[in-house]
Chain A
């Protein structure tokens, strides 16, 4: 015990009282250990960070209707039970329709969804204001908001045609006399009624001005093909009807067609020509207008900015189809294999078709693999550099302490005693550097994590022993050659008057 005490006394004295050299060696080890600890921390924490990160790129599984048509919420929920609750981060249903803004003669796509889930499956959504929480509140995409000029707390008026119009019940066309102040509505088969489309006609609402001509025209082209037929609800086209009679219009003569949307243009003309006074028909074709309060503006930089978002309940009151969605986005925290299995099970159940968002999943695995390889490589290089540096320093230390080592041998130190002392100093340095490095490395990892992933890192208790042990091993390895030098020193050198 006393020998050991003297051993530690000598080693610590050597380190403490001969600062400069040992500080360099200590610094080398500490830097190496810092990088090691930092990279190991990042390495351990990265899969977790990456998972969170990739999840923030959006959902990784999508549930779609099993056949054609819509997906019932009940089916969607039943399908999700395949996925263990703790792995299901979020499930967001979406239901889309087109809505008009009468005053601006524009059509916008609106989506019904569940906002508490949106925040889980699309954490990258940036909302200026807040998410809707009450009925008749909407979240408006930035591009829509810019177009129609609404801001947070603006009230916007949305108009739609109540659904469940059966073609057979369509009003008698063209019968009624046109009178000033009259409101007419009508419909005609556009592109949407063609084979394989959504079986939805083009609806129009016409108001007649005091001079007996068309004062305003609102067109619902939500059944038409996006980007083509839907242009016919925009003001550049509907304005062509203003001041014209609401009867016997001819496409190409009275009104020019929208290029690329001839069928829809023709349908609008036909619907106007056949429009009947609203009072004469069943309320089915009466457009309904409801005021919504904008509570937030959505900024994503993507196509989500083109939509108006509302609750599923609000959406159901528009579509008249409660409990139906177009698709459900799922965010699942599971391995690729599990995801594929879940998707298969869901599709096999027949309730819904599950599709994986492959791009995200693949890149998650690829990036992770590459990053881990990089971490290994950098760590190995850093450890080798540390070893070279410590070894060089210890060589210099041995050269500097030649006389002392000779003296110790002259005083009776065996080769083993010299070995043990130098390795002891090396291990002590390694332990000290390792401790220092573990602390600094955690800070380093934290900085990396905050800058790269924007989130705090978890401190792993394993880090401390791992860093210290690796540092001690590196220090011991670095000392092997210097120790051999030390052992080879001839004790007789202390006798020569050097």
Chain B
């Protein structure tokens, strides 16, 4: 059963076709990587899937809802309820501690619950660092907090934008291991990256170039 279905989506900025008739479908529990060089339309795709932008043409159906027609207010609701976001730049609220940053996500979603937030941090191995401010955490630790924040509300879909772009190899592996765990638990993952190594740990890689989907690779090595 598809969680996400993109049908003939185009996004046009003036003369520029950032996305040109792209179709994609992602099943529930699938782990898909979207790859491409910069300017290929990755970010636009990510914005549209993440309910932060609307396509100029085509349909996007997320969990049975056509999000290409919704108001931005509804899009905010859908994003909050269904999607966990992970960013390349981590993006933590710099004056809140790790656990508070996780709780911010709960706050907008439903109810802040410190115990649950601490459990999420425990899961990413940062229980001991819960009371630290972002400035006291390494990049890898910050990204792990962001993973905890993304999964705290049990989203249908985790959408990660270059999640390992700013990490060293050791931290990259920790984050990818977390993704693996999430996948094994049945969470749907869409990872946008330009890094082939990150792409090939996914089940399937979709390659974008100049706004068009040029290739789709099923990773042989997946699960190995």
Enumerate chain A interface residues (CB-CB to B < 8 A).
2-3, 5-7, 9-10, 13-14, 16-18, 403-404, 406-415, 417, 490-492, 494-498
Contact = CB atoms under 8 A, between A and B. Distances in A.
A495 B95 contact: no
Interface string B137-149: 0000000000001
A5 B112 CA distance: 9
A114 B162 CA distance: 96
A17 B133 contact: yes
Interface string B66-109: 00000001001101110001011101111110001001111111
A6 B73 contact: no
B95 A14 contact: yes
Contact of A412 (B43, B53, B109): B109
B112 A6 contact: yes
Contacts of B89: 403, 494, 497-498
Interface stretch (B24-32, B44-52, B174-182): B44-52
Given A10-B100, A411-B104, A492 B52 contact: yes
A495 B76 contact: no
Nearest to B89: A497
A437 to B, nearest CB: 25
Contacts of A492: 47, 50, 52-53
Contacts of B96: 10, 13, 17
B146 to A, nearest CB: 10
Interface residues on B, range: 35 or more
Given A2-B113, A403-B91, A497 B162 contact: yes
Given A10-B96, A492-B53, A495-B50, A408 B104 contact: yes
A410 B146 CA distance: 13
A292 to B, nearest CB: 81
Interface in B1-52: 43, 46-47, 50, 52
A422 B162 CA distance: 30
A13 B100 contact: yes
Nearest to B85: A410
Contacts of A18: 94-95
Contacts of B165: 497
B100 A410 contact: no
A409 B47 CA distance: 13
Given A13-B100, A17-B95, 13 more contacts: A2-B113, A6-B104, A6-B107, A10-B107, A16-B95, A408-B108, A412-B81, A413-B76, A414-B77, A415-B73, A490-B52, A491-B76, A495-B47
B156 interface: no
Contacts, number: 94
Nearest to B92: A407
Given A410-B85, A411-B108, A6 B103 contact: yes
Interface string B102-144: 0111111101110000000000000000000100000000000
Given A404-B94, A407-B93, A408-B104, A494 B87 contact: yes
Nearest to B108: A412
A411 B73 contact: no
B87 A495 contact: yes
B53 A411 contact: no
A3 B105 CA distance: 12
A18 B53 CA distance: 31
Nearest to B82: A412
Contacts of B111: 2-3
28 contacts: A2-B112, A2-B113, A5-B112, A6-B104, A6-B106, A7-B107, A10-B104, A13-B95, A16-B95, A17-B95, A17-B133, A18-B95, A403-B91, A410-B52, A410-B91, A411-B80, A411-B149, A412-B108, A414-B76, A414-B108, A491-B76, A492-B47, A492-B50, A492-B53, A495-B43, A495-B52, A495-B87, A495-B161
Contacts of B46: 495
B50 A410 contact: yes
B43 A411 contact: no
B148 to A, nearest CB: 13
A404 B134 CA distance: 13
B194 to A, nearest CB: 11
Contacts of A409: 76
